[in-house]
Amino acid sequence: MEKFDLMTLPYASEALEPIISRETIGFHHGKHLQAYVNNLNAAIAGTPFESKTLEEIVLTAEGGMLNNAGQILNHNLYFGQFMAPKEDNKPTGALAETINAQFGSFEQFQEDFVKKGVGLFGSGWVWLSAAEDGRLVITQEPNAANPIQKGLIPLLTFDVWEHAYYLDYQNRRPDHLKALWSIINWEEVASRYEK
Ligand code: MN
């Protein structure tokens, strides 16, 4: 039996349209993420990593094993936790208060976050994370990196690899990132911050 499985989407493949099309989901989840899962299962077979969790592999592995595990962890959060077919949600509770205190307003936070995503050269992810003292940080992580490698708690991420948006937005990464705000599961993001 394979150790890691392709995660099941908690919504229909057309549920995030028009921001993320069924076609993009088909390639992104069905092909790209499946390939990372296959690659990782092949890489860990017969090694001590077979008994580790995804997070443990990301924190201890190197090379291709690290990259594939990182991509699975990142996509599981992105597809499974952070995206939802909801309209124009906003952060609530302690998260909303900290966003306002640190960034001035939710709109300013959105602008800063998108700017970091747009400014990330090449492939990677832009993240909102919490530091141990509760402070929020926006980081650019190249390729398959995850903020847990920096001791941060991941709260939200936008995938800025071209495979995430090219079919729907071609080269217009800024337009794609701005559009993502209307399909964010803020309930989940806010509850991760409360913990
Ligand atoms: Mn991706």
**What letter represents residue 83's amino acid?**
M
pLDDT, averaged across the chain: 96
Cβ 58 vs Cβ 77: under 8 Å: no
CA angle (143, 111, 114) in 5-degree steps? 20
Q: How far apart are CA 75 and CA 25, in angstroms?
A: 12
**What letter represents residue 154's amino acid?**
P
CA–centroid distance, 38 to ligand 1, in Å, is 15
Question: What pLDDT was estimated at residue 88?
Answer: 72
CA–centroid distance, 28 to ligand 1, in Å, is 6
CA–centroid distance, 167 to ligand 1, in Å, is 13
Q: How far apart are CA 17 and CA 159, in angstroms?
A: 16
Q: How far apart are CA 160 and CA 141, in angstroms?
A: 10
Q: Which domains does the chain have, with CATH numbers?
A: 22-80 (1.10.287.990), 93-194 (3.55.40.20)
CA–centroid distance, 104 to ligand 1, in Å, is 30
Q: What is the pTM of this model?
A: 0.96
Average pLDDT in the 79-88 region? Answer: 89
